[in-house]
Amino acid sequence: MAKVKMLEKELQELRESTMQEFAEIDSVDFTSEKKENWAKRNAKMQELVTEIKDAKAIETQKAEIEAELEKGKNVEPMAIHTEPQVDEVEKTIGQQFVESKALAQFNENGIKNVSTELKWNPQAEYKTTLTETGYPPAVTRSALVVPTATLDPLQIPDLIDTITTDQYQYKYLEETTFTNNSGAVAEGSALGENALAFTERTEDIRKIGGFLPVTEETLADVSTLQGYLDSRLRTMVRLAVSDQILGGSGSAPNLTGIQNKSGINTFDFSSYSGNLKRIGQIYQAISEIQKDSFLNPDAILMHPDDFFQLVTEVNAVTTSGALNPLFVGAGNFNAGVNATLWGLPIIQTTEFGSSGTAVVGVFGGGQACHLVARQGMEVAISDSHGENFTKDIIVIKATVRLGFPIYRASAFCTITNL
């Protein structure tokens, strides 16, 4: 403690002399030399403060050590048979079991019924049996994404030939007057006058599309996500195109679909009385197209439930009362049901929404209709939608621009209540 007091005395004297000099100093006489001396004096005071603190700390530690040494002089009696206990980190039952020989033998060699003694704390409470239901183990999720099942988005568009245009409308001429007075005439007589007239038709090009928002973090963290979203978004747009081809209302911005085209043939199966039932009604639709448009149909669109009714439909033979199937294909089903009827492929689709409707028509060849593409499938990415820029949200957009002119409405026939 003597050293501490000496240091404190020196510090006090230095402070008093500094304060006295500070009171007498004139700012005009405060030269660079005085500034340097002043800085040295401040450094010296700081050094004394540090030495005092260190000295006090040493004195305190010394006092504590002396007190402990004094306590050590008192010897406490200890039983002869006891040994010093080594402090161990207490392990749980679970930790001990994981490190046990029993578990090691089971994992490495498949050996069961190996006993291992575990240290048990009687203060531990009993628990019910743990199962994977009560305590499910952690499982890493697969990167596999199983998409929602959808109908084939190209099933109907693939039936129709596609042409291109660089205009916002598709115009064509339809021959609306065909007067044929050609015939045999006598010598010197006038020939019959024929007449042709045309009407300009216009089909507007419509935009069909949609978008999906996704955060930048998701795109950055999942390398395959962008391609997956691109693919699914294209599928969604193609499904919309398929829906427009079959059932577009014709009111802007919709295309005019086959079912809503003015002039197509239509039959109500509930009024059909032929013995061949559904297959007879479909053949009547084929015949109607042949006689009205002079074209041969190339496909039949039908809901799977209606195809089931068609395949399983039977008719009674009046002479014996036996039931015979009306639809026979693929060698009486030896190789499975062949999805054709009257030589035409049957396209099973749920695009109708519900069963009960079928469409027979001339889809390909460009004689009855075309898909007119102004712009193919375009996929774009942007963050310029609403507040997406500030929220780091990316919008993936897919669009097409199409027209669907139906040149010959009589080349299509719908059957309802099938």
- Examine residue 63 and state whether it is found in any structural domain, yes or no: no
* 51 part of a folded domain: no
Q: How many domains does the chain have?
A: 1
Task: Find the angle CA(321)-CA(326)-CA(330) to the nearest 5 degrees.
Answer: 130
Which region among 35-49, 186-200, 276-290, 391-405 has the lowest average model confidence (pLDDT)? Answer: 35-49
132-139 mean pLDDT: 74
> Is the model's pLDDT at 183 over the cut of 90?
yes
Q: Does 32 fall in a domain?
A: no
- The answer to whether position 387 is within a domain reads yes
Indicate whether 39 belongs to any domain: no
CATH of the domain at 378: 3.30.2400.10
Question: CA torsion, points 328, 329, 334, 338, in degrees to nearest 10?
Answer: -140
142 or 409: which leads in pLDDT? 409
The pLDDT > 70 percentage for the chain reads 83
Higher pLDDT, 107 or 197: 197
Q: What is the mean pLDDT of residues 393-397?
A: 86
What is the total residue count of the chain? 418
- Taking 60 as the threshold, does the pLDDT of residue 324 lie above it? yes
Structural domain contains residue 218:
yes
pTM: 0.64
CA dist., res. 99 & res. 95, Å (int): 6
Does 220 or 297 have the greater pLDDT score?
297
In this prediction, residue 331 carries a pLDDT of 47
330 domain residue, yes or no = yes
| pLDDT tens-digit series, residues 17-72 | 777 776 666 666 667 777 777 777 778 778 877 887 877 777 787 777 777 777 66
Residues spanned by the domain of 333: 162-175+198-416
Res 53: pLDDT: 81
Q: What is the pLDDT of residues 334-369, one digit of tens each?
A: 556 678 899 999 999 998 888 999 999 999 999 999
Q: How far apart are CA 313 and CA 89, in angstroms?
A: 80
- Is 240 part of a structural domain of the chain? yes
The continuous run of DSSP H or E covering 49 comes out as: helix 32-72
